[in-house]
Structure 1
Amino acid sequence: MRHAHAVEQVRAAEAALMARLPEGTLMQRAAAGLAAVCVRLLPRVYGSRVLVLAGSGDNGGDALYAGARLARRGASVRVVLLTPERAHADGLAELLAAGGRVTADPAEFERADLVLDGIVGIGGRGGLRPAAAPYAGMRRSGPVVAVDVPSGVDADTGEVDGVALRADVTVCFGTYKPGLLIDPGASYAGVLHLVGIGLELPPAPVTALQEQDVAGLLPRPAAESDKYRRGVVGVAAGSARYPGAAVLAVAGALRGGAGAVRYAGTAAEEVVRRFPEVLVTEGTPGGAGRVQAWVVGPGGGEGAGAALAEALASDVPVLVDADGLTELARLGPDALRDRTAPTVLTPHAGEAARLLAGALGGPPPPADAAAAARLATARRLAAAYRATVLLKGSTTVVADPGGGVRVNATGTPWLATAGSGDVLSGLTGSLLAAGLAPLDAASVGAYLHGMAGRDAAERRTPITAMEVAEHVRF
């Protein structure tokens, strides 16, 4: 699992460690790790052209010391001092002593075999200042390596408020930063390399599941399992206008590890024709029989409100999507106030904006604003509705009411296709019914859905939502 810590946590851990170490030791550790990554990126170090973009403070110091190490190995190192009066004096002196040179020629950026971005550190806010902004638009002949965070990216949130310098590789010190895992910042970070520097950190507020974590959470039948012990997921979806949403949500549910799927709604005939193993009724959730979780809302149309009310009145986890979210935004958080079982909400950015308006009053914020600040959006929704929120997007953010956050970056832009979200809802609801906790079910569902999209797209593009369901694998 990847663990990402907030800037405040990193600063506190660094201060505690520096108090026990000789002065400068921590920066030398960081510079050594940074230089080692650069060595692997260069075809050869001797004779290579390296440009250091050095801002003020420790971030610039890390870059200068790493540049000195490369210069001692024969690289031709040049440094642009973005704030000469505040350059890290000892780092600059070491670089010059190793043969590096100060330059003011911006063309060095385009000629360099490797650029070290040490302009702004993890405490930076806002976009690049005017002196540094032109570098973001320049051509490059070699990789740009960001020192801890790409300059212009908010390390805590991933927000990009202005111009930022896109990196090919980001070298993280001690821990990942949330902004490196969450778009739009993640799209600026490139490949991430973690360099250990000995920090002692508290539990991470943001995590990301890796393949082995997902494998450990997946529900597996035991020797004594039967279909009911494995869990039954109920799906209340589809309408006369959108029967396909029901079929797709059920397709996802069948792939999620529950032992059986019950369907309740007007698309019963279409569902059982495609999936004869599904238990169907044309009624509503209240009369469908016992389940361990409900999925409500995809393509629900005018009947979504009644289905949502009946599902929320149950004592099992409920996942709300699509038309169910529209109804919930109208009702506001009070609709969930008396629930004792968990609730999972799976909005896209536009639905998230409407849910926020339902919770806070006033007009909904622009969907683009909700997406750009997706970490804050997911956390605000989780707190307001006391629910686990799976905010869909290029980076899926899953936030629970207790403040925990998981992010997921599996997937492909080809998943932006009609019905893909219906498959995700059914898949995640099935994991809930199989016994996974809401945070686990939502983050595992997002991971599997993203991997299925990748696998489907590798076979052919464009892909359909049903192809995504068919490619879900445990």
Structure 2
Amino acid sequence: MKIVTSSEELKRVDSAAKKVLPSLVLMESAALQCWFALSRLIERSSSLLFLIGGGNNGADGIAIARHAYHAGWRKITVLHTATRYTDEHAFQQTLLKEYPIRQLWLGDVDLDDLPPHDWIIDAIAGLGLNGPLHERLGELVFRVNRSDASVFSVDIPSGLGDRCAVSGLCISSDHTVALGSFTRAHYHPLVRSRCGNLRIANPSFPLALLNSLDVVATVDDEPLAIPALEKSAYKNTRGSIAIFGSSVKYTGAARLAANAAFTARSGLVTLFCDPEIHEICASSTMSIMVRSYKGEPVEGFDAILAGPGWGDGREELLKVLLCTPVPLVLDADGIRSLARLIASKKMEGRIAPTVLTPHLGEMRILGEAVLGRPCFESSESPETFFSDLKEVARFLEATIVLKSSLIHVVDPDGTITILEGLNPSLGVAGSGDLLAGMVTAFLGQGFSAHDSSLIAGKILFTSAQAANEEIGYYDSETLLPYIGRTVKEAER
């Protein structure tokens, strides 16, 4: 597990550390840690362009350039992008004058005349950024992102920040070394990929200070492990789940979810669909019991999923399901129906666990219904994003499984756990239905809402990685045997 904190907390730790160690000692340590990471990536013949801001992030960059020179690299250019400097930065500039390293200043350079480099080291702006980059820097960042160079960012890609709009222009990095801890800006779903390969280095902060950091979220990198079924397990002990979904326009979504539940060890799966498509669903899904709902009590199930391919106008049936005393998962149209109930103040309280599995678009709809204002927009900051996630989960007393290239699992108490994905092959229709089916399956086996969500998310990401490595790209149905294999391999 790795923690995600706020930039304010890291500034507090940095200030406290300077009471124990001189600022320049911390800076040299940070630079060495970054250089160790960078040196493993670059060849001795590589040309290096350092983009240097005026703050301590830029001072770190100058120190890294010095370490590169000491290590034998000679094709080094330092491009200064600021005219005002911190004291530490001014000291680093004084040291740099003693090195035969080419130095340029942004105000004096025609960017068209800047030769290409193999690597660009981004040390323009660190965690202290609170707004957009100014116009000249924006032009530089635009050119960096269009170049063929590999990019290495110190602490965070310049342009990102806890209080910066995620739609703003920023460096798109291949590698980022976060100093001390990850922050909210590293793990917003719209910009996580801008950080590239992300790792943490400790610039000699005392461990007691790092352990005192306020935890906004955790990144779960623990191996997938699931308790194995008893040897005597059979269909009635492996969980019986109900799925309310599918419509004339979308007949496949609920069936994908049902089959995913089977591969996640459910023993019995019942699909409730509209009468108009009963024959279609029943004839194509031999293992699934298909029924049309006619107003009877929803009883005898260990967990319920509502929403995949459901269509609009399901609010009255959803109110019935919300009153059931078993775990309930809402996906897709189930979430939209819930948002309409909330907006009309007709939502009933729940006594059993509730899990919602929205993508970002559905999260905007749900969030606006709960908070009464636009939210989860690209114009907002990572700080607002994490705060709003917690507020919505607390209001609904539900576990939210937010789907993107990452998975954010948000519990009703505000705890946020993040799973790394970053696998574009998974961006295919139906992958969310698979996830919802698996969450429901594990709820039906007696796992908590938190554990069911994390286990299902890890299974989906692991299965997608295996499929991508073996066959490239795929449709969601093709993932089913990979899910079954992943579950089997994870059993302990």
TM over 0.5: yes
The residue number in structure 1 matching 2:62 is 64
Structure 2 unaligned regions, length at least 5: 488-492
- Give the 5 Å matches for 1:189-268: 189-197=195-203, 198=205, 199=207, 200-201=210-211, 202=213, 204-210=215-221, 212-213=222-223, 215-216=224-225, 218-266=226-274
Aligned-partner SS, 1:301: coil
Give the Cα separation in 1 of the matches to 2:278 and 2:164: 43
Q: CA RMSD in A?
A: 3.1
Relative to structure 1, the CA distance from residue 271 to residue 471 in structure 2 (aligned partners, 3 Å threshold; closer, same or farther) is farther
Deviation at residue 415 of structure 1 after TM alignment: 3.7
The residue number in structure 2 matching 1:95 is 96
Is 1:148 equivalent to 2:147 in the alignment? no
Query: Is the 8 Å Cα contact of residues 398 and 443 (structure 1) preserved in structure 2?
Result: yes
Aligned-partner SS, 1:99: coil
Aligned-partner SS, 1:290: coil
Query: Is the 8 Å Cα contact of residues 179 and 201 (structure 2) preserved in structure 1?
Result: yes
The range that moved more, 51-60 or 192-201, is 192-201
The residue number in structure 2 matching 1:324 is 334
Deviation at residue 347 of structure 1 after TM alignment: 2.0
Is 1:116 equivalent to 2:121 in the alignment? yes
Give the Cα separation in 2 of the matches to 1:461 and 1:23: 49
Give the Cα separation in 1 of the matches to 2:465 and 2:195: 21
The range that moved more, 278-287 or 114-123, is 278-287
Deviation at residue 73 of structure 1 after TM alignment: 2.4
Deviation at residue 250 of structure 1 after TM alignment: 0.6
Deviation at residue 151 of structure 1 after TM alignment: 0.2
The residue number in structure 1 matching 2:476 is 465
- Give the 5 Å matches for 1:124-203: 124-138=129-143, 140=147, 142-154=149-161, 156=162, 159-197=165-203, 198=205, 199=207, 200-201=210-211, 202=213
The aligned amino acid for 1:4 is V
Relative to structure 1, the CA distance from residue 84 to residue 360 in structure 2 (aligned partners, 3 Å threshold; closer, same or farther) is closer
Aligned-partner SS, 1:463: coil
Give the Cα separation in 1 of the matches to 2:471 and 2:41: 32
The aligned amino acid for 1:319 is V
Compare relative contact order (CA 8 Å, sep 6+) and give the higher one, 1 or 2. Answer: 2
Cα deviations by residue, 1:205-258 (Å, 9 ceiling, x for unpaired)? 222333x44x13x35313454444433322121234433222122112112233
Deviation at residue 25 of structure 1 after TM alignment: 2.2
Relative to structure 1, the CA distance from residue 19 to residue 423 in structure 2 (aligned partners, 3 Å threshold; closer, same or farther) is same
The residue number in structure 2 matching 1:345 is 356
Relative to structure 1, the CA distance from residue 270 to residue 166 in structure 2 (aligned partners, 3 Å threshold; closer, same or farther) is same
Cα deviations by residue, 1:166-200 (Å, 9 ceiling, x for unpaired)? 21211111222232233332121111232133442
The aligned amino acid for 1:178 is R
Cα deviations by residue, 1:288-339 (Å, 9 ceiling, x for unpaired)? 5422221011122367334322221112221111222222111107555521
The residue number in structure 1 matching 2:430 is 419
Count the aligned residue pairs: 467
Give the Cα separation in 2 of the matches to 1:335 and 1:66: 59
Give the Cα separation in 2 of the matches to 1:369 and 1:61: 30
The residue number in structure 2 matching 1:314 is 324
The residue number in structure 2 matching 1:41 is 41
The range that moved more, 103-112 or 433-442, is 103-112
The residue number in structure 1 matching 2:490 is none
Give the Cα separation in 1 of the matches to 2:295 and 2:140: 58
Relative to structure 1, the CA distance from residue 234 to residue 401 in structure 2 (aligned partners, 3 Å threshold; closer, same or farther) is same
Is 1:296 equivalent to 2:306 in the alignment? yes
Give the Cα separation in 2 of the matches to 1:289 and 1:459: 42
The range that moved more, 248-257 or 404-413, is 404-413
The aligned amino acid for 2:244 is A
Query: Is the 8 Å Cα contact of residues 159 and 183 (structure 1) preserved in structure 2?
Result: no
Give the Cα separation in 2 of the matches to 1:227 and 1:371: 47
Is 1:3 equivalent to 2:10 in the alignment? no
Query: Is the 8 Å Cα contact of residues 236 and 285 (structure 1) preserved in structure 2?
Result: no
Give the Cα separation in 2 of the matches to 1:336 and 1:371: 30
The aligned amino acid for 1:183 is P
Relative to structure 1, the CA distance from residue 369 to residue 93 in structure 2 (aligned partners, 3 Å threshold; closer, same or farther) is closer
The range that moved more, 30-39 or 412-421, is 412-421
- Give the 5 Å matches for 1:346-385: 346-361=357-372, 375=386, 378-385=389-396
Deviation at residue 354 of structure 1 after TM alignment: 2.2
Cα deviations by residue, 1:61-118 (Å, 9 ceiling, x for unpaired)? 2111111111222323332222233151222222222433421344686433322211
The aligned amino acid for 2:100 is G
Query: Is the 8 Å Cα contact of residues 342 and 369 (structure 2) preserved in structure 1?
Result: yes
Cα deviations by residue, 1:125-182 (Å, 9 ceiling, x for unpaired)? 233222322222325454221110000012x378534221221211111222232233
Relative to structure 1, the CA distance from residue 231 to residue 9 in structure 2 (aligned partners, 3 Å threshold; closer, same or farther) is farther
Relative to structure 1, the CA distance from residue 125 to residue 320 in structure 2 (aligned partners, 3 Å threshold; closer, same or farther) is same
Deviation at residue 27 of structure 1 after TM alignment: 1.5
The range that moved more, 186-195 or 47-56, is 47-56
Give the Cα separation in 1 of the matches to 2:280 and 2:227: 28
The aligned amino acid for 1:115 is I
Aligned-partner SS, 1:85: coil
Relative to structure 1, the CA distance from residue 117 to residue 366 in structure 2 (aligned partners, 3 Å threshold; closer, same or farther) is closer
Give the Cα separation in 2 of the matches to 1:291 and 1:225: 17
Aligned-partner SS, 2:252: helix
Is 1:445 equivalent to 2:456 in the alignment? yes
Relative to structure 1, the CA distance from residue 370 to residue 262 in structure 2 (aligned partners, 3 Å threshold; closer, same or farther) is farther
Relative to structure 1, the CA distance from residue 219 to residue 263 in structure 2 (aligned partners, 3 Å threshold; closer, same or farther) is farther
Is 1:55 equivalent to 2:53 in the alignment? yes
Q: TM-score, normalised by structure 2?
A: 0.84
